[in-house]
Structure 1
Amino acid sequence: MKKLFVSLFILSLVVACKKNPDKFVNDKPDSTEYVKTEATKATPVEVSKDQALKQLNEEIIQVLKDKDYKKFADFIHPEKGVRFSMYAFVNPKEDKNFSRSNFMKYQPTKTLFTWGTLDGSGDSYKATIDNYLTKWVYSKDFATGQVAFNEFLGKGNSLNNLKEMYPKADFTENYIKGSEANAEMDWKSLRLVFEEFQGKYYLVAVVNDQWTI
């Protein structure tokens, strides 16, 4: 009788295990924990080219406004350098082109460079890097101007060959409208030209534009 009772007790334990296996074996991931893990994964935010260049434009304009020319070097294209054009017509024979290393080398110095020819007088325009960026490139407060992407806002009487010289590049234009007192002829534009290199956009040209004689 005692043996029969023991056998029945063991049998009841086996049946209980089969009816409630989860109380003994848990080989599945907790569903709540899984949901939490999935929810905490960072979702990459895609930024459009327009947005990326708009932000880059704002950063460079602020650097020029702050006269932080050492920081400016960080934006220069690592291989092509950056070309400065005094007017809308890009002239590789006259325009000054700096590699990043040369810009960093000469920026702190008082070395004079010839940047181009002044409209009207035909005189050569000579200045240090700092003076050129301060007095010519950022001659207006472009941080307050109108900004366009791959579109020309300032339209004068000089030849504009930017798209021909940089057919695969993108550019921003920072535009200051002219005053009524001068029949709006005293407008000025600052165009920043960008090309992609190893997944990042860099500055390849800085082109100023204004009404010319």
Structure 2
Amino acid sequence: MYAIVEIAGQQFKVVKDQKVFVNRLQTEEGKQVAFDNVLLLADGDNVTVGAPAIDGAQVGAKVLKHLKGDKVIVFKKKRRKGYRVKNGHRQALTEIVIESIAASGAKKAAPAKKATKKAEPKVEAKAAAPKATGKADDLKKVEGIGPKIASTLTEAGIATFADLAKATPEAISEIIAGVRGNHVTDTWPAQAQLAADGKWDELKKWQDELDGGKA
């Protein structure tokens, strides 16, 4: 029996007792974790496909350890500008072992998780209300931020240039860990501060020297 399940923004084909490396999870080492976004289940000739997920299906796993992946070399070059940058990147990963695949029986647990997810944004909204600065800003104006990242940051409560300017590059990297791609967040808070201050000419001049948000 195997399943195709979405974990931390990626899809995996898993079987029981299989070890899988996924994008960093917040669960502590040694703890149990369950994933209910099961897209497909196959047991012999019996195949069930979700629309998009299978109601009641669940994959149970145990977090073995947190680690970093192999170093990936990233080389960037701008023609006729004498610009060459070579960097290394190691993705934050979590190793888990699949302990169970349930075709049904997760129906009671699923609503509880959904209720928790719905409750959290309400608490965050109340906490963020005093800091609200008005209409959300177009975060895509920051060099290196695309539509997917902008949406992910907004969902995490970073909706304005001021919010982004207060965040650390490390915190931003954690938030967008599930977004595919090699994202360098070092300059994003500083860019956002210039945008928040309305220094667009200064920001544009700096962005002409950046490549994907990296100096």
User: Which structure: greater helix fraction?
Assistant: 1
TM-score bracket for this pair, using the shorter chain length: under 0.3
Greater fraction of residues in strand: 2
- TM-score, normalising length: structure 2: 0.24
TM-score of the aligned structures, taking structure 1 as reference length: 0.25
Higher relative contact order (CA 8 A, sep 6+): 1
Higher alpha-carbon Rg = 1
